[in-house]
Amino acid sequence: MLQALTQRDGLSILVILALGLCTASGLAVHFFKPQLKFVWHCFFRPLGLDDQKARLEKFYRGQAEVYDSTRSFLLRGRNTMLALSSGHLRAMRVRSPHKRLVWVDIGGGTGHNIELMDKHFPISSFDTVYLIDLCEPLLEVARKRFEEKGWTNVVVLCQDAAKFTLPEWGKGVDPKGTVGFVTLSYSLSMIPSYHAVLDRIEYVLSPQDGLLSVADFYTAGKQSSLHDKAIGGLNRECGWISRWFWQIWFDFDHVSLGPARRTYLEYKFGTIKSYNGRNRFFLPFIVQIPYYIWLGRPRACDVTRFCHAFEVEGGNTIGNCSPVPTTGTKNLEVVPTLEIGEPIIQLSSLTALEKAANVINITPPLSAFHYQIEKPWRLPYYEQQVHKEFRTFIYSFTWEDPFVDMEYLQLSSKDTMLAITSAGDNALHYAISAQPQRIHCVDMNPCQGHLLELKLAGIHSLEYDDFFALFGEGRHPRFRSLLDSKIAPYLSSSAYQFWRLKDNAFSSSFYMHGYSGWALRLAKLIFSLAGVSDHVIAMCNADTLEEQAKIWREMLRPVLLNPLVVAFLKSPVFCWNALGVPLNQRQMILEEGTFYDYVQHTLDPLASTYLFKTGSYFYLLTLLGHYTPASCPLYLTRDGFNSLKASTSALDAFRLHTNSIVNVLRGLSRWSLTRALVMDHLDWFTAGSAEVDEEVQELYRVIAPGGFVLWRSASRRPWYNTVFERTGFIVIPVAIRKGPIAIDRVNMYVYSRTA
C-alpha cells in the first residue's frame, strides 16, 4: 500500500513537473516570440535569388508585425537623426515661415520614423509626408499605424525609390526643388540602385533649404583625402577585422556596408552634420556594429552663405587649412600653407568666389564647415596632428579679469579685435560691454573652440534658465536632448561630434571637466581632508569683507599655504595638467622668487579686497565648483545673456580660428585690427624665441594707427617686452602687483600694453 502510494505520488510529481515545464516553455516561447521570428527570418530562412521587391516581401512578410519591437536596439541613431533634423527644420521655418514643407521618408517601412518624429517636430507641421517603400507587408503596418493616429497628411506609396513619383507633382509638373526634407533610415545600405536614388533626391530637394538625413550601418578604412578628413569626423575608421566581418555578415541579407554608398552620398551632397557611432547592444565589449548619422544639403545651395569662411576682413585664411573651393580659379591665388603643405585659397573679394561659381561644374564638395546653415562662426580647419594632441579643453573657465581688460582696452563698437579663445568668457564680456565690429578668437586647441561654439549656440537657441543651468550651475539633466534638438543647428559638425561624445559633461559638474577641473578637484579634496569644507561655503556666503577675510586668515590660509600643498602646486606636471601653467611660465615665476611667495602674494590681498559672494566669481568657482546668479561672468547674468540674445550683431561679430596666433595674423590684412589681447600667451615661449619675434612683427603689421596690444605676464619684467620695443612699439606697464594690494579679481598677472 505504501509502495503504491509512493509510486502514485511520484508519478503525480512527474506529471506536475512536466506540466510546469510545458507551461514555462510556452510562456518563454510567447515572451520571446518576436525575437524568435527575428532570428528565423534574419539568420536561417533562405532568401533566394528573386528580384529586390520579391526578396523584401519574402524577408519581411513573416516578421512585419514584430519588426519595430525587434529593431529598437539594432537600428541605433534613428531618434538622434530625427532630433537633429527637427532642430534644423525649426531654424528653416524661422527663415521661411510660409514655404511649403514636404517630407519624403524613403524606405520607411512600418512608419516608425514618422511616428517617432512627431515627438520632435509635429507631423501636423508638414504640408504632406510621403512614406515610400517597396515592401508591401511593412506598408500594411504603416497604414494601420497612421489610420490610428488620424494623420490625413501622411501618404503611403509602394514604389521603387529610384523612380519615386509624388501624386502632387501631376502630369507635366517638374518636381525639381519641390521637397524640403528627405530621410533614409537604414535603407540606403539595402538599395541596389543607390546612385539613382541619391541622384533623384538631389533633383527634387530644395536647393536653398532642402535637408537630407541618413542613419545607417557602414564600414570605412583609413581616411586618406582632405575631403574625408573635413567631413568624416571622429571615430570613422573601422579596424580591418570589423570591416571584413560586418561586410560579409550583412551581405548574406543583401545589405551592403561597403564605403561606396556613403562616399557617393558625401560627394553628391554637402555635409552639415556627421557622427560615427558603435552599436554595442549585444556583448558590448565584443560586438560593436559601426553606424553613422549624417545630415546634408544640396551642393547647389547659395554659396554666399559661407563666403566668409574663405575671407578674413578682406585678407586670406593662411593657416586655417581651408579646402579649395568647389569653384574655378579666376581671381584666386593658390598658395602653400605654413604647416602642412596643402594648398589653400586667397580671395581678393567676395565677388571673386561668386564670379567663379560657374567655372567648374564637377568638383569635390567643400568641408562641413562651409555647408553649415546657421551661424557659421567657426572658420574651416583640417584636423592635424597638433590638434590631436589636445584630448579635451584645458580651460573650462577663463582665468583673467575682463573688467580690467575693458578699462585698459577702451573698446568701442568701432573696434576690430583679436583675443585668445580660452573658455570664451572674456570674449563674450567684450561683446556685451562694447559690441566691437569683429572679435577674432584664436586657439590652437580645437576643444576650446568647441566650448565657445557651444556657448554661442546656447545663447542663440536656449532660454536663460537652461543656459545658466549648463554654464552657471554646471549641470543639466537634459543636455543631450537640448544638444540634438535646439543647439546642434548652430554648431559646426566638429563641435557637435565633440559634445555628442561628451554628453555626460553636464551630468555632474561641468567645471570638474577639462584640465582645469583637476585644480578644482584637488581644492575640494584638500578642504575635505582638512575638515574645512563648511568654512569654504561660509566664506563664499560672507556678507562683508571683514567676515570673508577672517575666515580666510584663520581657517583656509593655513590649509592652502601649507608647504606640502604649495610643493604639490609648483610641480611641473600639476602646473600644466591642472593649472595650465607651462614650463616656461613656471620658470619665469621662480626667477623672481619662490613659488610660495607667488601664491601668498596672489591670494592674501583678495579676501580683503573683493567679496566673493557678489562679484569676485573666479575664486568662488574654484571653491564651490559652480557659479551663483549673484557672482558669475557677465554673459551668465540675465541682463548679459538677454543683451547678447537680442543683438544679432554682437553674436555675429565672432570668428573662431583653430590655429596659432601667428598664422591667423598672417592671414589678416595690414591695419585690420585696432585691438589685440594676447593674455599671457607669450609667457609660454622660451626666452629669445624666434617665434615671438615673428608674432610681434605680424602684430605690428596688422595693428592700425591708434590701436594697441595688451598682454599679461606672470613676470614683473617679461623678457619679450624688449621684442615689442625693438619692433617699433612703445611699451607701457599699466599694472604691476606690488605688496598686499590686488590689481584685479585674479591678481596673478602683470599688465602691459603698447602705444
Q: Which of 407, 434, 423, 395 is nearest to 751 (CA)?
A: 407
The DSSP secondary-structure symbol of 631 reads B
3-state helix, strand, coil in the chain (%, to 5): 50, 15, 40
Across the strands, what pairs with 753? 710, 732
Residues of the chain with pLDDT under 50: 1-17, 19-32, 35-44, 64, 66-67, 304-362, 578
Task: Tell whether the torsion through CA atoms of 382, 86, 457 and 351 is positive or negative.
Answer: positive
The CA distance from 406 to 292, in Å, is 45
204: Cβ contacts below 8 Å, ≥ 6 apart: 104, 175, 176, 177, 178, 179, 182
pLDDT at 519: 75
Distance CA 521, CA 619 (A): 14
Question: What is the structure's pLDDT at 294?
Answer: 96
What nine digits make up the cell of 542?
A: 560672507
Say what angle helices 464-471 and 638-646 make with each other, to 10 degrees: 120
Task: Report which DSSP code applies to 686.
Answer: P
User: Order of strands, edge to edge, in the sheet holding 269-279?
Assistant: 154-158, 128-133, 102-106, 181-185, 211-217, 289-298, 269-279
Q: How many CB atoms lie within 10 A of CB 374?
A: 20
The pLDDT of residue 56 is: 57
Q: Which amino acid does the sequence have at 232?
A: G
Q: What is the pTM of this model?
A: 0.84
Judge whether 90 and 125 are in contact, CB under 8 Å.
Answer: no
Cα–Cα dist 452/298, whole Å: 28
Percent of the chain with pLDDT over 90: 50
Looking at residue 8, its pLDDT comes to 40
Tell me which architecture the domain covering 387-454+634-754 has in CATH: 3-Layer(aba) Sandwich (3.40)
Q: Compute the distance between CA of residue 560 and CA of residue 341 in angstroms, rounded to an integer.
A: 49
* Short-list 360, 199, 179, CA closest to 264: 199
Any long-range contacts for 552-560 (C-beta under 8 Å, 24+ apart)? 552/603, 552/607, 552/608, 553/607, 556/527, 556/532, 557/603, 557/604, 559/526, 559/527, 559/530, 559/532, 560/526, 560/599, 560/603
348: nearest Cα among 301, 313, 376: 313
CATH of the domain spanning 66-298, picked from 3.40.50.150, 1.10.760.10, 3.40.50.300, 3.30.70.20: 3.40.50.150
Q: For residues 737 and 742, give the distance between their C-alpha atoms in angstroms, rounded to a whole number.
A: 7
Listing DSSP states for 212-247 in one string gives EEEEEE-------SHHHHHHH-TT----HHHHHHHH
The maximal CA–CA distance of the chain, rounded, in angstroms, is: 120
| Strands 332-336 and 343-347, bridge-based pairing | antiparallel
Return the domain boundaries, the chain.
Answer: 66-298, 387-454+634-754, 516-624
- At 338 the pLDDT is 28
The label of the residue with cell 612699439 reads 729
CA distance 347 to 71: 50
φ/ψ of 26, rounded to 5, equals -65, -45
Q: What digits encode the pLDDT tens for the residues 346-400?
A: 332 333 333 333 333 445 677 888 888 777 799 888 777 777 777 788 888 998 9
- What pLDDT digit, counting tens, does each position of 454-488 carry? 999 999 999 999 999 999 999 999 999 999 999 99
How far apart are the C-alpha atoms of 83 and 89, rounded to whole Å? 10
Specify the pLDDT at position 360: 35
